[in-house]
Structure 1
Amino acid sequence: MSSRALRRLQENSLEQSLAKLGSNEAETESNDDYNRQKAKPVNIFALMAGDDEDEKDSESDHSQSDKDSKEMEPFKTVEKPKPVQSATNSQKKKKSRKNKKDKSAKTKASEVTGKSRKLNEDSAGESDEELDRMLEQFRLRDLAGKKNSLESKLENSDESEGDFDTANEVEDDQNNDPDASSSTDPGFTKFDSFSEYERIFGLIDMRKLNPDNEYKLLFDDLSAESLADVDSMTSTHVSPQVMKQIDRLKHMVRNWGGKDHKTVPNGSTTRRLAFTKIRDDWIPTARGEFVITQLSRQELKDWNAWQRPQDWIDEIERSIKKWEKAGINFFKFEPANPELTRKSMTEFYMSVVLHPDHEALIGLISSKFPYQVPALLQVALILVRQGDKANSNGLVERALFVFDRALRSHIAFNGTSCQLPYIHFFNRQFYFAIFRYIQILSQRGAVATASEWCKVLWSLSPLEDPLGCRYFMEHYLLMNKEYEFMIQLAKSPLINTYADWYTLGMALGIVFSYLKLGLKDSARSELRKAFYHHSEALRSIFVEGGLGDESVVAGLESSEVSPDSVVETKAYLIRMKVLWRGPELNFLYDELFTLFSELKSGRLSTKPSSTFSAESPFFIDGMHVNLLRFAVLSQESPLMACIPEHIWSERDVYEFDVLPPQPHGRETEDLIESVKSFVSENDLTMTRMEMMQDENLLNQITQMSLEQFLQENPNAGPDE
C-alpha cells in the first residue's frame, strides 16, 4: 500500500498519533533504552511515509548545528514530519538501482537504524505501541485486499476465458443482462468489447480466401501446371471470335493479368489483387468501376442518427469517439465514373424493375457494361434457374473481382480496418457477392474457404450483421472442424451481449463443438443455456428432426411463438442432419429428454416468448430484418414460405437488393442509398417514351397485318 493511500484511509488517526508524540516530548528523554528496543516498528512507519511532499520541506526556521538535530526537528510539531519522508524517498531511489543493489541495501539499513534510534529518543512507549497496532492493521488490510483481488481475477478468468478489458472498454452491469434485446438498443451501445474484433477476426488470412489453396491440401498430387490450366480457363462460355478480340485488348491495356493472373491496372496505379484471379474471358479495362473512400465524421453522425433517432447527439458523438479510440474505420464503395454508372444503372433499372427483360440484361453485361455488379449478380441468378451453374459461378467471381480491384492494399478484414455500413448501395452489393460466393464454394466442397468467407462477411459489420451470419455460419465452421473457434465464440460478447445474438445455430453449434472435443459436461451446461433461450425451437427439433416421439413434449407447446423462431427453426432443420449423427445425435436426444422432463415437473424454467414492438431499423413487424434477408438469399423454398405474405407485398424484395434499409422521413432520404439514387430520371423518362413509341408502332403493324390478312381472306372470319 502506498503512503498516499495510507494517508487518505487513516488521515485522522495518523494526525492524532503524531499529536500524542508531540505532547509526550518530555517523557521520551527518560525512556531512551526502552525506545531502542522498539526501533524496528518505527522504522516500518518511516519506510511507509509519503514521498510527494519532500521538496517543500527543504527549508527550516531554526539553525541546525548537526545532522541529528536536523532530523529530530520536524517531530517537535505535528505539521511537518517531512525529513523522515525525505529519507524514504532516497531509499526508494536507491532501491530502484539494480546494479547497486547490495551497496544500497547496506547503506539503507545503517541510515534507517540511525534515524530510528534518534526518532525513538523523542517518542513515548505508549504512542509506539499504538502506532505498532495501527501499522499492523494497515498491513493486514493491505494483504487481505490483495488476496481478495487476486482470487476475484482468477475466478473471472475461469468463468469467462478470453474477456479482455482495455482502457477504452467500460462495461456496465446492464451489459450482462442475459435477456437484453437489440430491439431496444438500435445503436448497440451496450457492446464495448472492441478488442473482440481482433480476437475473432484477426486471424483471417487473405490467402485462405482463394479456394486453390484448399484444393492443394485436398489433392496432394495437384501440380502447379494443373492449377495454371484452371486459371487459364474461361469463367463463362465465349466464342473463339470474342476470345481473339479480348486477346488484342490485352496487348493494348498494360499490366493486365501477369503470370499469376493477379495484377490489374487501376487508373494511374497498378493494383495487386488480394483474393481473386483474372480469367481469360474478362474484358481488359484500364480503370476499375469503384473507388473506396473513408466516411467522414459527419457521415458517421448521420448514419448513427438514422439508426438511433431517439438518442441525443451527445450520445451519438460518444459512440463515435469509442470507435475512434478502438481504431475502427468505416468505408463505402463509390462509382469511379458517376456519369457512366448513372447510364448503366438506368438501363439496369429499366430491364429489371420497370420492364423486365432478361435478354436485354444479358446484353448489358456482354457488351456495354461487363463489370456492372448488380447486373452480374442478377444474371447469375437467372442462369442458376436455367441450370447453368458454371456460367453463373463465373459471373459471381467477376463481381467479386470488381470490389477486389477497388480495395486499398493496407485494408484487412479484421473487424477494425474495414467496416462497410449497410446504408450504401454498393456496399450492399459487396455483401451479396460474398454471400453468393459462399454458396458456390459449399457446392464445390471447399468448406474451409467458405468458412473463411463467412468470417469476412461478419467482419464487415459485426454488430449489425446485415445478412444474418449468426444464423448460418456455424454450419460452415463445424464442417471445417473449427471447434476451438466455436468455443471462443461461446465466451465472446459478440454473441452474449444481447439475447437475440445468441441464435439457435450458434447455441447448438457450441454444444456440438464441446462434444467433438470430448467435453460432455460443458456440452450439457451449454445445452441447458440453449434450452433456456430456445425451448420452443428445441421442442420442434425434437419432434420434426426425428429425435423422439411427440408424446414426450405433449403439453409443452407455447401459446405464442415468435415468427423469428419459426424461420430460425426451419432453417436449422434443413441443415441439421448433415452434422448431427451417431453419438452426438444420441447425446442430444438423451439430454433433451431429461430437460423436457424437468420442464414438465416444474424444476426448470425457460425464457418467455417475446415480440419486439420497439421502432428499430433492424426489425420489420417484430422480425429481425437480417434473418429475413438470409431466408430470401438462401433460395430455400421451405424457408421462404415462412416469411409473412405482407412482407413480400409491402416491401422491396428485389433479388439484387433484398429488403434495403428504409429512410425515416425526408431528412434521411438522401442518406439511405438505393438503386434509384443512381438512376437518371431524365434518361429514364426518355427511355420509357421510346419504349412506348416502339410498342405503339408494333401495335399498328400488327393491326395493319391483320386487316390485310382479312382483306385477302374474306372467308377467314369466325364460323357462325
Structure 2
Amino acid sequence: MSSRALRKLHGNQDLDIIKNGQNTDEEEEEENESLVTSKKKNRKPINPFLLLGEEEEENHNEENNEENATAPDQTSKPEVQEGATNKKKKKKKRKKKKSAEKEVDNEDDEIEASIKEVNRILENSGHGAESLIMRVDTVNDSQKALLMVEHKNLNPDNELKRIFGSRVVQAESSRRRQRNMPMRRRTSWLATPKDTWPHIGKTGLSMSLKETQGNVNYFVFEHNHQYQQVQFKFYDAVESLNPQNIMDIIRTYPYHVDALIQMSEVFRMSEDMQTAADLIERALFSFEMSFHSLFSLTTGNCRLDFKLAENRPFYLGLFKHLVNVGQRGCYRTALEFCKLLLSFDPDNDPMCVLLMIDFYALRASEYSFLIRMFQEWEDHRNLSQLPNFAFSVPLAMFLQEEKNESGDTTEADEKLQQALIMFPGLLMPLLDKCSINPDSEVSSHAYFGDKMQYSQTAALKQLIGLYIGRCHACWKQPEVVQWLERNVKEVMKRVDRKDSFVEECSKKRQVRYQGTPRNILRHILISEIKDATTALPPDVANTTVLSYDPLPPLDSIAAYQRPDRQRTPQEGNTLALFLRSLLPNFNPNDPPARNEGAVGGEEGNNLRQGVNVLMEAMRDLLANIRPMDPPVENQGEEDQEEREEGEWD
C-alpha cells in the first residue's frame, strides 16, 4: 500500500511513527500528536478493502500536492529571515523523508497495479474485493492434487488436540516426560523423536536420486558397507529364531530399520502395542534423517520402486505406522499417511492402500475426498470393481447429504443398488457382523441366500471378508441401516423383474476375480483381519512369511548379495551331528574341528568312544529282544495277563 493509504488506515498517523516508532523532528511530532488527537474524535471505522480501490486516485493527488509544495514561485522573491539555516535543514529532512516514501511506493507499484486491475475487472462485473478472496481460495482448493499431503496432518498430536483439546494432550505428554530431561524440538514429520531414544548419529542409510522422468523423481535408499555388514548379522539373527539376538543388534545399532521392524512384530505378538509402535516410529525417524534434499513428502511427485529391496522396509514401516495411528482413533492422520504411501507408487500400489483408504476417509468424515477420488480414478483404475469402493462411495454420498441436511439421496441410492447387485454375497455376512437380523423376506430370497455365498470365487471372498472385517462399524448407525434396508428391497424388486443389469453383473463375476494378485495377498497378511485370512489359499497360508519383508515381489532387485556361508561339518553331516549330540560335553555352538577330512584329535577320540558305546548298547538291545508268543486258545484272561507279566519281568 502507499503511504497515504497507510495513514488513512491507521488514523492519519505519520508513516514514520508506524515504521520506526518515533519521529526525529520534535516539531513534526508535536504537530502530528495534535492532528491525531483531533482526528481520533471524529474517526470512523474504515474498510481496508475500500483503500485498494482508492489508491490510484490518492497517489495521483499526492504527487500533485508534492509538486505544488516543492515548486518555487517565479513571481515572488525569497525573503531573508532569521533562522533560515534551520528551515533549510528541516526542508532537507522533509525531502529525504519524501524520497524514502517514494522508494517504498515504487517497490509496491507492481503489486498495486495488479490489484487495481483485478479490482477494476471485479467492479465492472459487480463483485467486490471480498468475493475476490473467496474465489481465489476456491480455485486453489480445487486445483490441489488428490494425493497432496500436508505436514500438519502427519502429526497425530495435532488431531488429538482437535479432539480432546490442547491442554489435555500437553498434560499427558508432560506427565510421560521424564523429569530433568530437556524437551526436544520436532525435527521429523513422520515421527516425533522421544527423549528415551538414543542419539541417531550416522546410521549408514542414505538416499540418492536414481532418475528424473518429466516432473517425477525416482529415489532409492542405499546401504553403505558398514550397514551391509549389520544386515548380514540381522539375517543370521532371524534364522536363529531367537529374538534376543535381534535385540542385541538393536542395542549396538539402535537405528537399524529391519531389526526395528522385526522386533516390533515380536512385541506386537506379545501384546505390547506401545513398544511395538515406538520401534516403528524410530525406524521411520531413521528413514527421514536419510532423505535426499529433493525428496518431498508433500508434492506427490516422488517415487520409490518397490522392486528394490532397500525401498521395501520404508513401505512396510509406513503401513504399520498408519495402522497404529488409526487404532489410536487418529483417522485423519491415518488417511494422510494413506495418501503419502499411495503417492510413492500410485500405478502399482504394492501395499494395496486402495483397499483401506476408503475406511479412513469415512471415519475421518472426509466424504468429499473419497467421492472425488472415485470420480477421478474410476476410468483408469475401475474402482467400482472393488467391493470396498462399491459400498463405501454410496455410503459417503449418503452421509454427506445427511450432514448437509439436503435430503436428496437419489445418487447414493443408485450407487448402493448397483453395489448390491454386483456383490450380493456381501450383504448377509455384513448384517451378521453388525449383529442385525434381516427380515424373512430378505433372508429367504435366492439372490442373497447361501447358494450365492458358495458360488463366489476365493479371490472375491478375500476382498469381501477384508471389507467386512474392517468397515462393518461404519454400517451400524440406525439411519444407515434404514437406508440399506430400503435399497435392499428395491434390489429384490429389480431381480424379480429380471433387470438387464443383474445378468450383466453375473457375467462379470464369472469372468473376473479368478486369481488374487500378490499385492492383495501381501495386504491381507499384514492387515491380519481374520475374515480375510481364513480365505487365503493354502500355498500362501502355509508359506513362511518374513515379518521384515512379507511376500517380496517375484522380480525383486537387491543392490548387494549376502555372501555364501561356510557350512560347518555339523551342518553338512546330519549323522555326525547326531552322534556328537550323544557326547556328555556336546555343545552345538562349539567351533568345528580344525583339521580337514576325517575327524581327528581329542574330539575325534571322544566321537569314536561315543560311537563304540552306542554300538554296544544297540547290540545288547537286539540280543535281549525276544518275540512275543501268540496267545493260547481257550485260556482265561487272568492266565493271559499273568503270562504277559512274566515275559516282561
- TM band (smaller chain): 0.5 to 0.7
- Paired residue type of 2:552: P
Q: Does the 8 Å contact 1:330/1:421 carry over to 2?
A: yes
Residue in structure 2 matching 1:685, options 544, 548, 566: 566
TM-score by length of 2: 0.60
Task: Say which SS state the counterpart of residue 419 (structure 1) adopts.
Answer: strand
Alignment of 1:153-302 (within 5 A): 199-202=145-148, 204-222=149-167, 226=171, 229=174, 232=177, 260-262=184-186, 272-296=187-211
Going from structure 1 to structure 2, the CA distance change for 1:639 and 1:691 (only over 3 Å counts) comes to same
Q: CA deviation at 1:425?
A: 1.5
| 2:409 pairs with 1:506 | no
Q: Which runs of 5+ in 2 are unaligned?
A: 1-116, 118-137, 402-407, 587-608, 625-647
Distance 1:480 1:598, change over 3 A: same
Whether 2:523 is the aligned partner of 1:630: answer: yes
The 3 A distance-change label for structure 1 pair 450 and 498 is closer
Cα offset, 1:331, TM superposition: 1.5
- 1 CA distance for matches of 2:373 and 2:387? 14
1:338-385 deviation per Cα after TM superposition (whole angstroms, max 9, x unaligned): x22222222222222x43222212222122x22221221111111111
CA displacement at 1:222 relative to structure 2: 1.8
Identity among equivalent positions (%) equals 19
Residue 648 of structure 1: which of 523, 538, 541 is its match?
A: 541
Partners of 2:420 and 2:427 within 8 A in 1: yes
Structure 2 partner of 1:537? 426
- SS of structure 1 residue aligned to 2:307: coil
For residues 309 and 142 of structure 2, the distance between their equivalents in structure 1, rounded to whole angstroms, comes to 28
Q: Aligned partners of 1:221, 1:474: CA distance in 2, in Å?
A: 28
Structure of higher CA gyration radius? 2
1:340 aligns with 2:226: yes
> CA distance change for structure 1 residues 601 and 291 in 2, over 3 Å: closer, same or farther?
same
Unaligned runs of 5+ residues in structure 1 are 1-98, 100-161, 165-194, 235-242, 248-257, 263-271, 298-323, 614-618, 664-671
Kindly tell me: are residues 703 and 563 of structure 1, through their superposed partners in 2, closer, same or farther at Cα, counting changes over 3 Å? same
| Counterpart position of 1:188 | none
Match among 330, 338, 357 for residue 242 of structure 2 = 357
Alignment match, 1:562? 457
d(CA) in 2 for partners of 1:645, 1:458: 29
- CA distance in 2 between counterparts of 1:341 and 1:689 reads 30
Give the counterpart letter for 2:417 in structure 1.
Answer: R
Distance 1:702 1:290, change over 3 A: same
Aligned mate of 2:496, from 597, 600, 622: 600
- State the TM-score, normalized to the length of structure 1: 0.55
Q: Residues 14-53 of structure 1: matches in 2 within 5 Å?
A: none
For each residue in 1:103-143, what CA deviation from the matched residue of structure 2 results, as whole angstroms up to 9, or x when unmatched? xxxxxxxxxxxxxxxxxxxxxxxxxxxxxxxxxxxxxxxxx
Report the CA distance shift for 1:612/1:372 in structure 2 as closer, same or farther (over 3 A).
farther
Spell out, residue by residue over 1:226-282, the C-alpha distance to the aligned partner (whole angstroms, 9 max, x if none): 366378469xxxxxxxx9xxx9xxxxxxxxxx85443xxxxxxxxx42332222232
Change (3 A) 1:379 1:694: farther
Superimposed CA distance per residue, residues 152-209 of structure 1 (whole angstroms, 9 cap, x where no aligned partner):
xxxxxxxxxx9x9xxxxxxxxxxxxxxxxxxxxxxxxxxxxxx99952112x211211
- Rounded Cα–Cα distance in structure 2 between residues aligned with 1:679 and 1:633: 26
Structure 1 residues 689 and 351, CA gap change in structure 2 (3 angstroms): farther
**Residue 490 (structure 1) aligns with:** 374
1:386 aligns with 2:301: no
277 and 696 in structure 1: CA distance in 2 versus 1, 3 angstrom threshold: farther
Instruction: State how far apart, in whole Å, the 1-side matches of 2:471 and 2:562 are.
Output: 47
C-alpha contact 1:567 1:643 (8 A) present in aligned 2: yes
Q: Determine whether 1:586 maps to 2:482.
A: yes
- CA-CA distance at 1:524 after TM superposition: 0.9
Match of 1:59 in 2: none
Residues of 1 paired with 2:570 and 2:142: CA distance? 56
Q: 1:705 to 1:681 in 2, by over 3 A?
A: closer
Q: Which moved more, 1:427-436 or 1:522-531?
A: 522-531
Which amino acid letter does the alignment assign opposite residue 591 of structure 1?
Answer: N
Q: Could you tell me how far apart the structure 1 residues matched to 2:172 and 2:428 are? A: 48
Paired positions, count: 443
| 1:522 aligned partner | 411
SS at match of 2:216: coil
Q: Is the contact made by 1:343 and 1:679 (CA closer than 8 Å) also made in structure 2? A: no
Aligned twin of 1:423: 307
Bigger relative contact order, structure 1 or 2, given CA contacts below 8 A and separation 6+? 1
Does the Cα contact within 8 Å between 2:421 and 2:491 map onto a contact in 1? Answer: no
Structure 1 CA distance for aligned equivalents of residues 508 and 330 of structure 2: 38
Instruction: Find the aligned partners of 1:636 and 1:465 in 2 and give their Cα distance.
Output: 19
Any conservation in 2 of the 1:231–1:277 contact (CA below 8 Å)? no
Query: After the TM superposition, which residues 136-151 of structure 1 pair with which residues of structure 2 at under 5 Å, given as runs?
Result: none
After TM superposition, give the deviation of residue 595 of structure 1 in Å.
0.9
SS in 2 for 1:296: strand
Cα distance change on mapping 1:445 and 1:283 into 2, 3 Å: same
Letter in 2 for 1:350: D
SS at match of 1:411: coil
Structure 2 CA distance for partners of 1:699 and 1:205, relative to 1, 3 Å: farther
Query: 1:531-559 CA deviation, whole Å, 9 max, x = no partner?
Result: 45434434654676546342124587457
The aligned residue for residue 532 of structure 2 is 639
Give the whole-Å Cα distance in 2 for the aligned partners of 1:624 and 1:196.
Answer: 34
Tell me the alpha carbon deviations over residues 307-329 of structure 1, each in whole angstroms, 9 at most, x when there is no partner. Answer: xxxxxxxxxxxxxxxxx44x122
Q: Which 10-residue stretch deviates more, 340-349 or 380-389?
A: 340-349
2:208 aligns to what SS in structure 1? Answer: strand
